[in-house]
């Protein structure tokens, strides 16, 4: 593989030397293992403790030997030498590349046990709940051998159960569950309410998914809050604007743009200088745009109806009222204002964190994946992580065929169906990787037409899909799956119980078919990796059409000439090379978008850290009481005479935290609006990111002071008695209900990408 050669030469001899050294350590461990085979459980556990005393590993060979024996006794798995090498690299804080089926679950658990013995709390981060539970249960006995505990966090657990689980030495959890717990813990008013207590190490499984592909997915914690509607005045002014003259609408009527004349009318009517000035860009301009959107793009009785004094959306594809749907908050409120209705409650974003920022909270991050080499740049640039390549236990026996290229999407689709049918006719199992759910369904329908039984996986139910994918290697199986579905589940030849193992080996193992090249070779290789585990035979091939997204984007503006065969196939080395070239272009674009988008996120992440420091201080000390009594001495004396000191300290804390958290939430909302309207300023020839930074820094500076001022006001006026501060009575209740969501499940595919694309586009 070209990628690997590049990697080795880039890493030079250093990596080679390290490789040699760790091989020697592992060989020695194998020898020691022979000597300690009959040592008692207690002896081994005590020895391991001895070796890890003081938080450092004093003898790696002895330690690996003990871990190996423990694994054999508790799990029945004797680690392969390559697995022990991988454990060493993880303990040094690298991201290891280790192919699918090489046993990363065991490697991760051994390394986590090592960290835990050194006194570190470990979060073992998985891609979903199902894998968190599976691995905690599977690996629990190994961790337990040393008197340590393992537990899993899953979505269905309540706060009590979570708090208990987080006390374990090794905590398995999906990145969203752990992230949402971080967000909720950032809103507590007493340490007793926290469920987490920090962790020292994040050991990330499928590290490239979490650290690269989904790095900028924001986890969002929201609470109830009245909507922010454009004022009636703005709605009225916008009503006077005329399409074509004051604003324009694009062809598919999805976007509306105020023009200069329109802006001037609004500015004059409101008596302001410029809608695009600092003062108005994040507020008035957003409201004007919302009102304009409601007026120009959303038509009553086509997009919505008004019923019982409420706006109800109409589902365009079904032509029926879609009861539980709303537009994004501002739009909903704007339509209500347009119709002169009462503006309904909306959600307020209380806090948000990207996975990249979440990872930044851990003092040490390490990880494992089948495809790390191609992510070397990102891992270094964004996390300062090194990649270590671990050899395979058994040599790869998979045949990776060259791409089959077709002129059109239609011809490609026909060829894919034909190929699947042909392979299936021999009994060889086929796994097809598609780009999205719609493609999976379309393909499944076409195959069923041919009387081929198909299993379709869409990453909807992880546990159920794991059992289906575990059988994907059985004779005659055809499994169609999107990228994320069934990840982490081993595909054994001849079925999960391997009953027909030899027969499937004779048929050539698992055949993997990709319906398009992904935008990065890394995702292609993840799919290929499903076949050929542990020396199994296997096959992989990708189908590509010149109309594919990746080709259109990566090859934009380039002319290619090719002469297709009658079935549309273009069999030419030159075209195959060109497809590779297109992919390198899209990889470059993704990296650039990641870097740019992170610039927007980084500043807010840093600011959140400052807020968090302040919060910690307020929670740890009686600083809130000190500050408030200093600012309002008379009130403090009054209260001291009537209420217990401890109660007052907690009351002051809650008042202070309320205003701090509220201020932060306002800040997030404002910066969100600024980000949305900032492309308008790009038109005004300013550099958006600089502008964004300037506004963020300025607004943040006032936040802390404003929060204290407002807290003083509350301190003076709110009822404080033996039960504490009665904030709810003054309309200062913390949001009663909170809910969590992710903006997109996978920004590399699907609709969520539009956000990132949108931002990327500014920099073209």
Count of residues touching ligand ADP (by CB under 6 A)? 14
State which of residues 89, 104, 120, 517 lies at the interface with ligand ADP (CB under 6 A).
104
Ramachandran assignment for 12, one of left (phi > 0), alpha (psi -120 to 50 degrees), beta (any other):
left
- Indicate whether 77 belongs to the interface with ligand ADP (CB under 6 A): yes
- Which residues are annotated as part of the binding site? 83, 101-105, 490
Cβ 525 to ligand ADP shortest distance, Å: 13
Cβ 393 to ligand ADP shortest distance, Å: 8
- Indicate whether 542 belongs to the interface with ligand ADP (CB under 6 A): no
Closest by alpha carbon to 519, among 212, 758, 302, 291? 212
DSSP string, 460-497: S-HHHHHHHHHTTTSTT-EEEEETTTTTT----TTTTT
CB neighbours (10 Å) of residue 384? 9
Name the residue with the smallest CB distance to Mg ion: 488
- Indicate whether 370 belongs to the interface with Mg ion (CB under 5 A): no
DSSP string, 667-720: HHHHHHHHHHHHHHHHHTT--HHHHHHHHHHHHHHHHHHHHHHHHHHHHHHS-E
- Which residues are annotated as part of the binding site for ATP? 83, 101-105, 490
Closest by alpha carbon to 452, among 444, 460, 464? 444
- Indicate whether 80 belongs to the interface with ligand ADP (CB under 6 A): yes
735 token code pair: 């949001």
CB 471 within 8 A of CB 500: no
Only segment of 19-27, 96-104, 392-400, 566-574 that touches Mg ion (CB under 5 A): 96-104
Name the residue with the smallest CB distance to ligand ADP: 103
State which of residues 82, 94, 101, 189 lies at the interface with ligand ADP (CB under 6 A).
101
State which of residues 17, 20, 49, 78 lies at the interface with ligand ADP (CB under 6 A).
78
Only segment of 301-309, 449-457, 487-495, 527-535 that touches Mg ion (CB under 5 A): 487-495
CB 240 within 8 A of CB 265: yes
The DSSP symbol for 155 reads: T
Cβ 534 to ligand ADP shortest distance, Å: 7
Cβ 567 to ligand ADP shortest distance, Å: 37
Residue 15: which residues within 8 A CB-CB, separation 6 or more? 8, 388, 389
CB 197 within 8 A of CB 118: no
- Indicate whether 488 belongs to the interface with Mg ion (CB under 5 A): yes
The DSSP symbol for 373 reads: G
Cβ 188 to ligand ADP shortest distance, Å: 36
Ramachandran assignment for 340, one of left (phi > 0), alpha (psi -120 to 50 degrees), beta (any other):
left
Closest by alpha carbon to 500, among 557, 551, 429? 429
- Indicate whether 494 belongs to the interface with ligand ADP (CB under 6 A): no
Distance of CA 204 to the CA centre of its chain: 12
Cβ 40 to Mg ion shortest distance, Å: 32
- Indicate whether 104 belongs to the interface with Mg ion (CB under 5 A): yes
- Indicate whether 100 belongs to the interface with ligand ADP (CB under 6 A): yes
CB neighbours (10 Å) of residue 183? 19
Q: Which residues does residue 258 pair with via DSSP β-bridges, in sequence order?
A: 247
DSSP string, 312-368: EEEETTTTEE-TT----HHHHHHHHHHTTPPPPEEEEEEEEEEHHHHHHTSSEEEEE
State which of residues 391, 419, 490, 612 lies at the interface with ligand ADP (CB under 6 A).
490
Task: Note the maximum CA span of the chain.
Answer: 94
Partner whose binding site includes residue 310, from Mg ion, ligand ADP, none (CB under 5 to 8 Å by kind): none
- Indicate whether 492 belongs to the interface with Mg ion (CB under 5 A): no
Only segment of 99-107, 432-440, 627-635, 732-740 that touches ligand ADP (CB under 6 A): 99-107
- Indicate whether 103 belongs to the interface with ligand ADP (CB under 6 A): yes
Q: Which is nearer to ligand ADP, 83 or 483 (CB)?
A: 83
Partner whose binding site includes residue 490, from ligand ADP, Mg ion, none (CB under 5 to 8 Å by kind): ligand ADP
- Indicate whether 371 belongs to the interface with ligand ADP (CB under 6 A): no
Only segment of 17-25, 102-110, 227-235, 433-441 that touches Mg ion (CB under 5 A): 102-110
Binding site for Mg ion (CB under 5 A): 104, 488
Binding site for ligand ADP (CB under 6 A): 77-80, 83, 98, 100-106, 490
């Amino acid at each position: 593989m070209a990628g690997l050669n590049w990697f080795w030469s880039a890493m030079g001899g250093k990596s080679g030397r390290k490789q040699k050294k760790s091989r020697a350590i592992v060989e020695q461990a194998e020898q020691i293992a022979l000597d300690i085979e009959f040592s008692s459980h207690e002896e081994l556990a005590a020895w391991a403790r001895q070796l890890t005393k003081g938080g450092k590993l004093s003898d790696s060979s002895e330690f690996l030997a003990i871990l190996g024996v423990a694994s054999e006794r508790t799990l029945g798995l004797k680690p392969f030498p390559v697995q022990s090498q991988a454990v060493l690299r993880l303990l040094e804080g690298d991201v290891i590349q280790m192919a699918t089926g090489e046993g990363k679950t065991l490697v991760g658990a051994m390394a986590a046990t090592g960290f835990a013995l050194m006194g570190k709390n470990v979060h073992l981060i998985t891609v979903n709940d199902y894998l968190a539970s599976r691995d905690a249960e599977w690996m629990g006995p190994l961790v337990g051998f040393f008197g340590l505990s393992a537990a899993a966090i899953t979505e269905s657990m309540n706060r009590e159960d979570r708090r208990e689980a987080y006390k374990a030495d090794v905590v398995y959890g999906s990145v969203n569950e752990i992230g949402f717990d971080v967000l909720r813990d950032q809103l507590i008013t007493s340490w007793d309410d926290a469920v987490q207590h920090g962790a020292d190490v994040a050991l990330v499984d499928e590290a490239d998914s979490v650290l690269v592909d989904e790095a900028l997915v924001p986890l969002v914690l929201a609470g109830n809050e009245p909507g922010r509607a454009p004022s009636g005045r703005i709605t009225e002014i916008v009503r006077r604007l005329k399409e074509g003259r004051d604003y324009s609408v694009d062809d598919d009527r999805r976007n509306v743009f105020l023009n200069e004349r329109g802006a001037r009318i609004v500015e004059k009517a409101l008596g302001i200088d410029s809608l695009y000035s600092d003062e108005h860009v994040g507020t008035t301009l957003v409201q004007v745009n919302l009102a304009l959107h409601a007026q120009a793009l959303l038509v009553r009785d086509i997009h919505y109806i008004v019923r019982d004094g409420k706006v109800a959306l109409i589902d365009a594809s079904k032509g029926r009222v879609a009861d539980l749907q709303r537009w994004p908050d501002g739009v909903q409120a704007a339509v209500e204002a347009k119709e002169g209705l009462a503006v309904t409650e909306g959600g307020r974003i209380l806090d948000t964190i990207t996975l990249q920022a979440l990872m930044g909270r851990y003092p040490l991050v390490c990880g494992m994946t089948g495809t790390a080499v191609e992510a070397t740049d990102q891992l270094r640039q964004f996390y300062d992580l090194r990649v270590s390549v671990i050899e395979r236990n058994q040599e790869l026996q998979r045949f990776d065929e060259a791409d089959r290229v077709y002129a059109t999407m239609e011809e490609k689709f026909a060829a894919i169906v034909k190929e699947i049918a042909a392979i299936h006719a021999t009994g060889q199992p086929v796994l097809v990787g598609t780009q999205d759910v719609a493609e999976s369904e379309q393909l499944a329908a076409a195959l069923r037409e041919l009387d081929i039984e198909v299993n379709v996986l869409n990453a909807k139910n992880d546990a159920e899909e794991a059992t289906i994918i575990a059988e994907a290697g059985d004779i005659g199986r055809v499994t169609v799956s999107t990228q994320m579905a069934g990840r982490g589940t081993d595909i054994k030849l001849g079925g999960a119980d391997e009953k027909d193992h030899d027969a499937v080996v004779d048929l050539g193992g698992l055949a993997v078919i990709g319906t398009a090249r992904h935008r990065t070779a890394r995702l292609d290789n993840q799919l290929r990796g499903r076949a050929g585990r542990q020396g199994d035979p296997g096959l992989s091939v990708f189908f590509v059409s010149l109309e594919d997204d990746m080709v259109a984007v990566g090859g934009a503006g380039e002319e290619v000439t090719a002469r297709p065969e009658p079935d549309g196939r273009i069999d030419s080395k030159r075209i195959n090379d060109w497809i590779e070239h297109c992919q390198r272009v899209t990889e470059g674009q993704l990296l650039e978008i990641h870097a740019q988008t992170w610039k927007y996120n980084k500043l807010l992440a840093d600011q959140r850290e400052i807020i968090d420091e302040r919060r910690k201080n307020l929670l740890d000390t009686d600083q809130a009481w000190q500050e408030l009594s200093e600012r309002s001495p008379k009130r403090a004396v009054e209260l001291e005479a009537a209420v217990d000191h401890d109660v007052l300290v907690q009351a002051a804390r809650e008042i202070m935290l309320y205003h701090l958290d509220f201020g932060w939430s306002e800040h997030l909302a404002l910066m969100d609006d600024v980000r949305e309207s900032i492309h308008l300023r790009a038109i005004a020839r300013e550099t958006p990111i600089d502008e964004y930074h300037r506004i963020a820094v300025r607004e943040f500076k006032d936040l802390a002071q404003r929060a204290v001022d407002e807290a003083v006001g509350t301190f003076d006026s709110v009822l404080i008695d033996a039960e504490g501060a009665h904030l709810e009575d003054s309309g200062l209740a913390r949001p009663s209900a909170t809910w969590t969501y992710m903006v997109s499940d996978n920004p590399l595919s699907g609709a969520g990408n539009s956000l990132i694309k949108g931002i990327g586009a500014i920099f073209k």
